[in-house]
Structure 1
Amino acid sequence: MIDRLAYALLAFPSRIRDRLWVAKLRRYCCAAEDAEFTPQTSIHNPFARAAVGIGSRSLFMGEINIITDAAKVRIGDWCFVGPGAKLWAMESIDIGSRVFVSHGVQVFDNNSHSLSAGERHERYRELRTAGRHLTPEAVVHRAIRIEDDVWIGFNSAIMKGVTIGRGAVVGAGSVVTHDVEAYSVVVGNPARVVGQSKT
């Protein structure tokens, strides 16, 4: 009995900390009341709260990075985004309902940095000396759409401008650089069709 009580007292502060963390996360997004977060969840959104929307019954364990004031991330109902999954938005990442995004998946609607070595160096110097970018970096970006019932295997990368059709499956470790047809199974780098999924 004493061991159980001691354990409960030790666990109590971490439960409070976890609840405070989740409450803080909700200030950075518009999430359904029954959407769930975990202590691993991270949302970096220095702009409008409405830039991030998470639907009903979704469990989000990953990270969202809103990079520009025009960027938006939308996640539908009954979705799962696993630990270590990261969504990097400069324009738009739109995820339908009943989508499974496994752990370690990276979703980029942008190139992250300029293709110019000089510009990359100048922006890094600004970051290290001024603590922020003083001028915007010319970064290519295009919206991503992941339709309903998609499953993305662990450690995959979804690149800018891609649409993944309804019910498609992306195999683990794949790099998706082109649109994926509905109910296709794709694998590899670059991802290629190897079969069909079921409805």
Structure 2
Amino acid sequence: MMKMITIKLYNKWINFKLRFWDVMQKEKCITGNSTNLFLEAKIENLCKNKEKIRIGDNCKIRGELLVYPHGGEILIGNDCYIGEMTKIWSARQIKIGNRVLIAHNVNIHDSNDHPLDKNERHNHYLEIITSGHPKIIDTLREAPIVIEDDVWIGFNAIILKGVRIGVGAIIGAGAIVKKDVAPYTVVVGNQNNIKSL
């Protein structure tokens, strides 16, 4: 009897914690109906504008969504899944269509995140650790990313700036995508191995 009461109390605590976290994370973005931000989810809206991270209906988010203070926008369609430890970081714009499945530990970045010049990179690092992310950066290379409807991205994949992934494409586990992917193709490895579905 006591064990059953303990289990019920524990379950109530977990449910409360999940609801609280969901509400706290949703303060930093706009979400559609029936969208959940799980305990592993992290919304880093460094520009403090909720409009810059928009998530559609019926999405399940377990990864990290980050927009920089100097720019960036993340737009996620309906019925999408973002897996644990996935990082979607935007300095320009990342647009994800409907019914997109993104596995765990995927990295999607629309910029270099740091300047290429060693001195600028060091100064950028110092500014981040002393004052936080800068509001103006003109030394980053940025280009938008578009991931169209019905794409599946396997675990540990890396999607780099400026690419468009076509409708229904599959990005295999561990793949590195640095150029556009045609609709209904499969990418494995470093994008030298592309097959039609």
- Relative to the length of structure 2, the TM-score reads 0.93
Distance 1:81 1:132 in 2: 25
Percent same amino acid among aligned pairs? 34
How far has the Cα of 1:137 moved from its partner? 5.6
Counterpart in the other structure of 2:78: 77
How far has the Cα of 1:6 moved from its partner? 1.1
The 5 A counterparts of 1:17-56 are: 17-46=17-46, 47-56=48-57
Q: Aligned pair in 2 of structure 1 residues 15, 116: CA closer, same or farther (>3 Å)?
A: same
Amino acid at match of 1:14: I
Kindly indicate whether the alpha-carbon contact (under 8 Å) linking 1:68 and 1:91 is maintained by their aligned counterparts in 2. no
- Give SS of 1:12's match: helix
Distance 2:196 2:168 in 1: 9
Kindly indicate whether the alpha-carbon contact (under 8 Å) linking 2:147 and 2:165 is maintained by their aligned counterparts in 1. yes
Q: Name structure 1 gaps, 5 residues minimum.
A: none
Kindly indicate whether the alpha-carbon contact (under 8 Å) linking 1:119 and 1:137 is maintained by their aligned counterparts in 2. no
Q: Does 1:62 align with 2:100?
A: no
Report how many aligned residue pairs link the two structures.
Answer: 196
Tell me the alpha carbon deviations over residues 85-137 of structure 1, each in whole angstroms, 9 at most, x when there is no partner. 11010000000001110100000000011011001111222333445548636
How far has the Cα of 1:11 moved from its partner? 3.3
- Give SS of 1:56's match: coil
Q: Name structure 2 gaps, 5 residues minimum.
A: none
- Give SS of 2:66's match: strand
**Which has the larger displacement, 126-135 or 147-156?**
126-135
How far has the Cα of 1:192 moved from its partner? 2.8
Distance 2:51 2:172 in 1: 32
Q: Aligned pair in 2 of structure 1 residues 129, 176: CA closer, same or farther (>3 Å)?
A: same
The 5 A counterparts of 1:84-163 are: 84-131=85-132, 133=134, 136=137, 138-163=139-164
Distance 2:136 2:55 in 1: 31
Distance 1:80 1:134 in 2: 30
Counterpart in the other structure of 2:180: 179
- Give SS of 2:108's match: strand
Distance 1:110 1:160 in 2: 6
Distance 2:28 2:96 in 1: 18
Amino acid at match of 2:33: E
How far has the Cα of 1:12 moved from its partner? 2.6
Aligned CA RMSD, in angstroms, stands at 1.6
Q: Aligned pair in 2 of structure 1 residues 167, 5: CA closer, same or farther (>3 Å)?
A: same
- Give SS of 2:13's match: helix
Q: Aligned pair in 2 of structure 1 residues 104, 131: CA closer, same or farther (>3 Å)?
A: closer
